[in-house]
Structure 1
């Protein structure tokens, strides 16, 4: 890899950031690697990096990632967001859900921020415990149990909720009872078998 002068931009450091984030990095991470906003704009002009959205860039020659769109949203959230609800179901491959929007849970302290969320994002707010989170590649996702409970509280279609719960239990990724799910499904014939 190219390495600029020891006091200037450090391509290896920038690459380290991007490599752990499916080829993406933020303006802040670029600055930590010695790249000014002006130098990043120069690299955009010469085709070395591509601007994904305000403050988020992609190394052009980095292989495309499976969840690159989610990584961009996660970086937009300053790495504080956790993918949840239907998005988490899709990441776990539970049910036939095909979310049209990306569900992201931010810390409750973010509730009063004046955020301009990307159009495809639905924001939720909760202070999640570490035990309620997992990693799916480069992004954080709610645990299967938390995901099912969130979907139950958000009134996900009973058929999809039942299917997701049955699949999670069959695969052994949730154990024990799920009172919120059971309560949500009670008017629709329960969990079934």
Structure 2
């Protein structure tokens, strides 16, 4: 039986736990922390200020929350409008050798925020193209490969991702080609080359 959180900290902790320890000032306010209380907890070191209006419980810095934990931060930064995509999505799905320096995010066309740590791609994604992870959304493996080929990423990155996806049995050649065709000639060329390499 789940016990209802009794105080503001318990309630905020429950929210943050599903976001790798991150939370927004608005979420803290909703759970009972005034802006003055938020300032107090930040000054005391209980909360780590990550970005404007984004915090993380100090305890989560000491936990091994995995390589993808910081992606929850970018979801909050975008007010849950960004979807982890392209090369970063390949890394999330552990497909191939992608090791991007920046975080790739797909955002809606009217999105206005920017940050030097992210590469923004503008598109409207279908629900089938999105996978929910703890604290963030990521493009599906098929979409991740096709969009990485479309930018275009290095061919060896696409080759390795296609090879792993096929070996896992998570997609067919036909599905890969169809996903690439939806994103245009550059994506199709990259995926076709990867499939030839696999033949």
TM-score, shorter chain, exceeding 0.5: yes
Scaled by the length of structure 1, what TM-score is found? Answer: 0.86
Q: Which runs of 4+ in 1 moved over 4 A?
A: 1-4, 185-189
Q: Residues 38 and 143 of structure 1: is their aligned pair in 2 closer, same or farther, counting only changes over 3 Å?
A: same
Give how far 1:185 is off.
Answer: 4.9
Q: Which residue of 2 aligns with 1:183?
A: 189
Q: 1:65 maps to which residue?
A: 65
Q: Deviations over 1:46-103 (max 9, x none)?
A: 2211111111111112334222221111110111111000000001111111111100
Selected match of 1:52 from 41, 50, 53: 50
**Paired positions, count:** 184
CA RMSD of aligned residues (A): 2.2
Task: Point out where structure 2 has 5 or more consecutive residues left out of the alignment.
Answer: 181-186
Query: 1: distance between equivalents of 2:31 and 2:58?
Result: 17
Deviations 1:156-179 (A, max 9, x none): 111111111111111122234223
Aligned match of 2:130: 133
Partner Cα distance (1:157, 1:13) in 2: 45
Show structure 1 runs of 5+ residues with no match: 5-9
Which residue is equivalent to 1:22?
Answer: 20
SS of alignment partner, residue 90 of structure 2: helix
TM-score, normalised to structure 2, is 0.84
| Larger helix fraction of residues | 2
